[in-house]
């Protein structure tokens, strides 16, 4: 098992990519703290499923965009688990439209949830990771953060911001054995992309050299690599998981 004895926080893990990461981490022996906006019966069932794998798992309600809430929830997690070795900043939203129709609210909401959340959680775990002299931070960017996309100026800006943050933190905390990398998924089949029309989804799939959308599990596998000791000399990088779409 690649993550035995490690504790991970995965934000926005009630569904989609975050959920797949939490399951894969648990299967690799990690204890997992999952967060999402609300902890409903579905999330509690998921928490039970994770505990059934034989590791310790607990779900926490937290708005990742809120600075104070994040400090509080990370304090609770540290109290409960005693350590934080891996942080996956996965929570994210889209509010897509052309700039002409994009409101200030649409801009602010996407920047707060996608980008400020990464600052919030990284800052909140920093002290624990510094004390441990060990940590792997994985930030969920996107191929559109690398290359831009019409109709997603807010989302692309937030995901590009994540890349700048990732590279800076890798430089700032590297001397304390804390690594920080970003993953840039391409077109992944989740509820986020289910919002798009079938025509748009087929069009995307056609443009991807591997001729299909990716699965949340395929993104989670890349996270295992970056979270584990398989990547102890990898930091400050952006790993594209995109079926060669972004080349
Ligand atoms: P999703 O919409 O299926 O799941 C996102 C989760 O984040 C949900 O459970 C939601 O409740 C939670 N969330 C939203 N706002 C939150 C907040 N303020 N605080 C805490 N949790 C919050 O999305 P999906 O597809 O699983 O995406 C996960 C991450 O991967 C996001 O950061 C997304 O931008 C990124 N990504 C997704 C791609 C895709 O094709 N699906 C492609 C590239 C990146």
- The CATH number of whichever domain residue 89 belongs to comes to 3.40.50.720
Judging by beta carbons within 10 Å of its beta carbon (0-12, 13-18, 19+), is residue 68 exposed, middle or buried?
exposed
Q: What is the mean pLDDT of the chain?
A: 97
Q: 175 C-alpha vs ligand 1 centroid, how far in Å?
A: 31
State the average pLDDT over residues 53-62: 98
> What pLDDT score was predicted for residue 192?
85
Out of 62, 141, 192, 196, mutate this one to test ligand 1's pocket (max ligand atoms within 8 Å of CB): namely 192
Where are the extended beta strands (E) located within the chain?
7-10, 31-36, 57-61, 86-89, 135-140, 178-185, 238-241
**Position 167 confidence tier, pLDDT thresholds 50, 70, 90:** very high
Distance of alpha carbon 198 from alpha carbon 209, whole angstroms: 19
Decide if 109 is inside a domain.
Answer: yes
Residue of 25, 81, 121, 155 marked active site: 155
Q: Is 157 in the pocket of ligand 1 (CB under 6 A)?
A: no
- For residue range 111-132, list pLDDT tens digits in order: 999 999 999 999 999 999 999 9
Q: 54: Cβ–Cβ under 8 A, 6 or more apart, which residues?
A: none
Give me the long-range contacts of 51-54 (CB less than 8 A, separation at least 24): 53/23, 53/26, 53/27
Q: What are phi and psi of 120, to 5 degrees?
A: -55, -55
pTM of the model: 0.98
> For residue 195, is it within any domain?
no
Is the pLDDT confidence value at 196 over 90? no
Average pLDDT over residues 34-63: 98
pLDDT tens sequence across 197-240 = 889 888 888 999 999 999 999 999 999 999 999 999 999 999 99
Residue 94 domain-assigned (yes or no): yes
Structure tokens at 138: 């994985």
Residue 44 confidence class, pLDDT cut points 50, 70, 90: very high
Residue owning the nearest CA to atom 41 of ligand 1: 188
The pLDDT of residue 164: 98
Share of the chain above pLDDT 90, in %: 94
Inter-residue contact 153 to 102 (CB < 8 Å): yes
Is residue 67 flagged as an active site residue? no
Q: Which whole-number Å values give the CA distances from 197 to 75, 183, 194, 202, 228, in the listed order?
A: 41, 25, 8, 9, 37
Is residue 25 included in any domain, yes or no?
A: yes
Q: Does the pLDDT at position 247 exceed 90?
A: no
Per-residue pLDDT, 193: 86
Share of residues in the chain with pLDDT > 70 (%)? 100
pLDDT at 105 over 90: yes
Query: Residue 74's domain spans which residues?
Result: 7-188+216-240
Task: Count up the domains in the chain and report the number.
Answer: 1
Specify the pLDDT at position 190: 92
Classify residue 132: in a domain, yes or no. yes
Atom of ligand 1 nearest to the CA of 155: 34
């Amino acid at each position: 098992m690649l993550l035995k004895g490690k504790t991970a926080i995965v934000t926005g893990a009630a569904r989609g990519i975050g959920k797949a990461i939490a399951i894969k981490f648990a299967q690799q022996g990690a204890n997992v703290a999952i967060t999402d906006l609300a902890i409903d019966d579905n999330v509690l069932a998921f928490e039970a499923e994770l505990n059934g794998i034989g590791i310790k798992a607990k779900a926490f309600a937290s708005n990742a965009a809120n600075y104070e809430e994040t400090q509080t929830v990370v304090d609770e997690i540290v109290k409960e688990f005693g350590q934080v070795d891996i942080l996956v900043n996965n929570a994210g939203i889209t509010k897509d439209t052309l700039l002409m129709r994009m409101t200030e609210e649409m801009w602010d909401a996407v920047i707060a949830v996608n980008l400020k959340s990464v600052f919030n959680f990284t800052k909140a775990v920093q002290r624990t990771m510094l004390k441990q002299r060990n940590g792997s931070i994985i930030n969920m960017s996107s191929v559109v953060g690398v290359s831009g996309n019409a109709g997603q100026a807010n989302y692309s800006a937030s995901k590009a911001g994540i890349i700048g943050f990732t590279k800076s933190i890798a430089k700032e905390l590297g001397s304390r054995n804390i690594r920080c990398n970003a993953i840039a998924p391409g077109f992944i089949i989740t509820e986020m992309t289910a919002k798009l029309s079938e025509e748009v989804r087929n069009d995307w799939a056609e443009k991807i050299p591997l001729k299909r959308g990716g699965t949340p599990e395929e993104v989670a596998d890349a996270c295992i690599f970056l979270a584990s000791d398989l990547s102890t000399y990898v930091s400050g990088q952006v790993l594209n998981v995109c079926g060669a779409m972004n080349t």
